[in-house]
Structure 1
Amino acid sequence: MRRRSIISAVLAAAVALVCAGTVALTTTPTAAAVGGSGPYPADYETSTGLANHTIYRPGTLPPEKLPIYVWGNGGCSANGTSQLNFLREIASHGFLVIASGSPNGSGSTTSQMLTQSIDWAVAENGRQGGKYYGRLDTSKIAVGGFSCGGLEAYAVSNDSRITTTTIFSSGLLNDSDDYQLRRLTKPIAYFIGGSSDIAYPNAIDDWGKLPAGLPAFMGNLNVGHGGTYGQTNGGEFGRVAVLYLKWRLKGDTTAGTNFVGPNCGLCNTQWQVQQKNLTLDGGTPTPSPSVTPSPSPTPTPTNGGPQGCSAAYSVQDQWAGGFVAAVNVTAVGSAINGWRVALTLPTGATITSLWNGISSGTSGNVTVTNQSYNGRLSAGQSAGFGFQANGTGAGATVTCTAG
């Protein structure tokens, strides 16, 4: 697991320095558009009832209820204005945004502070006489974070009150934390700074381990780890974050067309796009293929096994010297209680890490069997596994046998 372990060490050591630079950039932005570009000019405030947090809100509350977005800063910094332009931009489109850390604060945050933000917003919505009384939509709550703040967002994403999770330039540092991915049940979106982003390999690794059927979006913009948070209105990351939150928290399907389907608004642009299980209306999804403007190997056709299962192989990501691939297993005709996939790798390809399966061998002919939690499938139900490998991913073949 060379790529993941190296990036883990580098990210852990460097994230504070990278985000410290972002803090310096955005605390006193030179190109700030005061109030954001939305219809409700916004700024930030604090509350004695929510210590060590920064609250971004429209200056005049709109007539409709405000969905809630809670945010973890880069570097787990306790400076709630370290992504000021970005967060104020979101608030200006009719959201209540709460960042961990006080304005221009110091020190570090914890994931518990995100939960405190949600608790406070829910309580304020029900507090008679308060300015937010009945003005917040507590059924629509999103959590997000940049870099280290993204790790905090992962940590609380299983909160039943959360509608969707957004991960910005982040990915789990250790395989021992992958349980946080397996427990995801609500839509998730990744906004990453491209292959030069220090968090890119970890984000791609997480993407390959998401539960089967989970609605998920990944967009990569080639800006590196620092993102565009300090640009006017949060730059391109700010624009896309607003669109995603409008879709997921306000039901704006026009905004949603930027993320769904092979001709989505972000497809075939400077963004590199991948999709899983996305529909505009939130109905039962048809599995969505990865969509990306950069060339990638064509998925291997499904090969049916003789004992009730089929397997389909696809390359999720390819870079110089390595790739991430996924194998989707489907029960055919009747329920199965276990599966075994015969995987033939291209010449020179060597598996370095594999998830959601148990493998024998790392090159050539490899056999992968189910884990204890994904082997029992009803007719038509799918599960699968993913792996990261050295070499080139095109040309692998798979065959499935139920067992």
Structure 2
Amino acid sequence: MRRMPKIGAGLAAVVVAATIGLMAAGATPADAAVGGSGPYPADYETSAGLPDHTIYRPQALPLERLPILVWGNGACAANGTAQINFLREISSHGFLVIANGAPNGSGSTTSQMLTQSIDWAFAENSRAGSKYYGRLDTAHVAVAGFSCGGLEAYAVSNDPRITTTAIFSSGLLNDADDYQLRRLTKPIAYFIGGPSDIAYPNALDDWGKLPAGLPAFMGNLNVGHGGTYDQTDGGEFGRVAVLYLKWRLKGDTSTGAQFVGPDCGLCRGQWQVQQKNLTLDGGTPPVTPSPSPSSSPSATPGCSAAYTVQSQWNGGFVAGVVVTAGSAAINGWRVTVALRGGTSVTSVWNAVSTGTTGTLTMANEQYNGRLAAGQTASFGFQGAGSGSGATVSCTAT
């Protein structure tokens, strides 16, 4: 079920950072824009070959090749400096960042502008005479966006040149768009502003519908929809975005440790963290093969369920359940969930629920009921009250 709050371009809150003087098309980098906490102070420029975009780059290009990030702005606004502090911070750590919209521009953007950014960067990397000739790492490209810009990122995330997607305070608006989730094959990360973020239920719904086996991270920082983009160096969102991009685009496993495992760096701080299929090397966690029914004399249909509280805040929670088939294949499952008193379920994903309070059942959807021996399926739900104290049991159907 698609979530209630809507975050279209007209409704989404846009964080407009303090902007600087208007630049003419094709102008050289603006000295006033130099900054960021990274080793390569960054500024921005425009290019006649990429109209209506803003290009952030280290002022002095380093010897290392620059991975590429293409960015969609909040409210799909055509102002490439709307999140200047945040994007300049990322670039200062050795990335080429291209934002939709001219500096201080006006009007609206489209997802096709993100594809244009990738096309331009690849062409410049190959063009003799370009300052970027042979200086870009075209094997590592991220697409990302804030609010409406996150919807733009989703729309092009199946581009084969893209190696990771990052969604900031965003989520699909309509169930009809869920095909964009089903076609995801590369790692994805969500950075959301917590329960007070209008995109929060949208993002949670998307999270529950991601393809099985897809490496995914979700972090919630309870700052609301506006994030921290306009703070110095993009604030906490800027810091974490740099860590994620260093891991995914530069292979830095020390920064990857901030996102992976039960004792991850962000798990120990102010972020509420959820993880799926994450390993430091970027692969999919190994699955231990289960004995086949023919090799096990006691192979009988059955299943088990494991319940975890993935996020808890004052007045609400998100829980996840993993269903595991027993020593034989099953054609369906039904999980009985006994909630503690005063707790109710408000939304469910990847399962069909009967009831909202007390003891309720959650059965498989059409697409996740058939499980081989030892295979797993997962579903989740959001509730009001406390998620602790619930018990679950599973029956094969």
Amino acid at match of 1:269: G
Q: Hey, what does 1:327 align to over in structure 2?
A: 321
Amino acid at match of 1:372: Q
| SS of corresponding position for 2:283 | coil
Structure 1 residue 215, shift from structure 2 partner: 2.0
Distance of aligned partners of 1:327 and 1:168 in 2 relative to their CA distance in 1, 3 Å threshold: same
Distance of aligned partners of 1:163 and 1:360 in 2 relative to their CA distance in 1, 3 Å threshold: same
- Contact 1:33–1:232 (8 Å) recurs in 2: no
Distance of aligned partners of 1:40 and 1:76 in 2 relative to their CA distance in 1, 3 Å threshold: same
Q: Is 2:373 aligned against 1:402? A: no
Q: Hey, what does 2:6 align to over in structure 1?
A: 8
Which of 348, 351, 355 aligns to 2:349? It is: 355
Distance of aligned partners of 1:116 and 1:343 in 2 relative to their CA distance in 1, 3 Å threshold: same
Q: Is 2:135 aligned against 1:135? A: yes
Q: Hey, what does 2:296 align to over in structure 1?
A: none
Which of 302, 305, 310 aligns to 1:311? It is: 305
Structure 1 residue 286, shift from structure 2 partner: 6.5
| SS of corresponding position for 2:324 | strand
Q: Hey, what does 1:290 align to over in structure 2?
A: none
1:230-287 alpha-carbon deviations (Å, 9 max, x no partner): 2222222212111110111000111112222233222322333332322211233269
Q: After the TM superposition, which of the residue ranges 152-161 and 332-341 deviates more from structure 2?
A: 332-341
> 1:183-222, aligned counterparts within 5 Å?
183-222=183-222
Which of 368, 375, 380 aligns to 2:362? It is: 368
Cα distance in 1 between the residues matched to 2:394 and 2:48: 59
1:21-73 alpha-carbon deviations (Å, 9 max, x no partner): x22x33149xx883322222221112222221111112222222211101011
- Contact 2:300–2:326 (8 Å) recurs in 1: no
Q: After the TM superposition, which of the residue ranges 146-155 and 118-127 deviates more from structure 2?
A: 118-127
- Contact 1:52–1:102 (8 Å) recurs in 2: yes
- Contact 2:332–2:364 (8 Å) recurs in 1: yes
Structure 1 residue 104, shift from structure 2 partner: 0.8
Structure 1 residue 368, shift from structure 2 partner: 3.0
Distance of aligned partners of 1:127 and 1:335 in 2 relative to their CA distance in 1, 3 Å threshold: farther
Q: Hey, what does 1:122 align to over in structure 2?
A: 122
> 1:3-402, aligned counterparts within 5 Å?
4-5=3-4, 7-8=5-6, 14-15=11-12, 18-19=13-14, 22-23=15-16, 25-28=17-20, 34-285=34-285, 307-402=301-396
- Contact 2:301–2:329 (8 Å) recurs in 1: no
Structure 1 residue 157, shift from structure 2 partner: 1.8
Cα distance in 2 between the residues matched to 1:33 and 1:131: 19
1:343-401 alpha-carbon deviations (Å, 9 max, x no partner): 33444444333222233444444333322322232333221222233444333333223
Structure 1 residue 122, shift from structure 2 partner: 2.1
Amino acid at match of 1:158: N
| SS of corresponding position for 1:151 | helix
- Contact 1:338–1:375 (8 Å) recurs in 2: yes
- Contact 1:26–1:229 (8 Å) recurs in 2: no
Q: Hey, what does 1:293 align to over in structure 2?
A: none
Structure 1 residue 80, shift from structure 2 partner: 0.5
Distance of aligned partners of 1:330 and 1:160 in 2 relative to their CA distance in 1, 3 Å threshold: farther
Distance of aligned partners of 1:205 and 1:316 in 2 relative to their CA distance in 1, 3 Å threshold: farther
Distance of aligned partners of 1:367 and 1:267 in 2 relative to their CA distance in 1, 3 Å threshold: closer
Cα distance in 1 between the residues matched to 2:307 and 2:239: 34
Structure 1 residue 321, shift from structure 2 partner: 4.3
- Contact 2:34–2:59 (8 Å) recurs in 1: no
Q: How many residues end up aligned between the 2 structures?
A: 376
- Contact 1:8–1:174 (8 Å) recurs in 2: no
- Contact 1:342–1:368 (8 Å) recurs in 2: yes
Cα distance in 2 between the residues matched to 1:244 and 1:238: 10
Distance of aligned partners of 1:286 and 1:343 in 2 relative to their CA distance in 1, 3 Å threshold: farther
Cα distance in 1 between the residues matched to 2:383 and 2:142: 34
- Contact 2:340–2:389 (8 Å) recurs in 1: yes
Cα distance in 1 between the residues matched to 2:181 and 2:362: 21
Give 5+ residue unaligned stretches, structure 1: 288-304
Distance of aligned partners of 1:180 and 1:44 in 2 relative to their CA distance in 1, 3 Å threshold: same
- Contact 1:208–1:316 (8 Å) recurs in 2: no
Q: After the TM superposition, which of the residue ranges 191-200 and 51-60 deviates more from structure 2?
A: 191-200
Distance of aligned partners of 1:286 and 1:220 in 2 relative to their CA distance in 1, 3 Å threshold: farther
Distance of aligned partners of 1:225 and 1:59 in 2 relative to their CA distance in 1, 3 Å threshold: same
Distance of aligned partners of 1:384 and 1:219 in 2 relative to their CA distance in 1, 3 Å threshold: closer
Structure 1 residue 101, shift from structure 2 partner: 0.7
Distance of aligned partners of 1:391 and 1:273 in 2 relative to their CA distance in 1, 3 Å threshold: closer
**Among the aligned pairs, what percent are the same residue?**
75
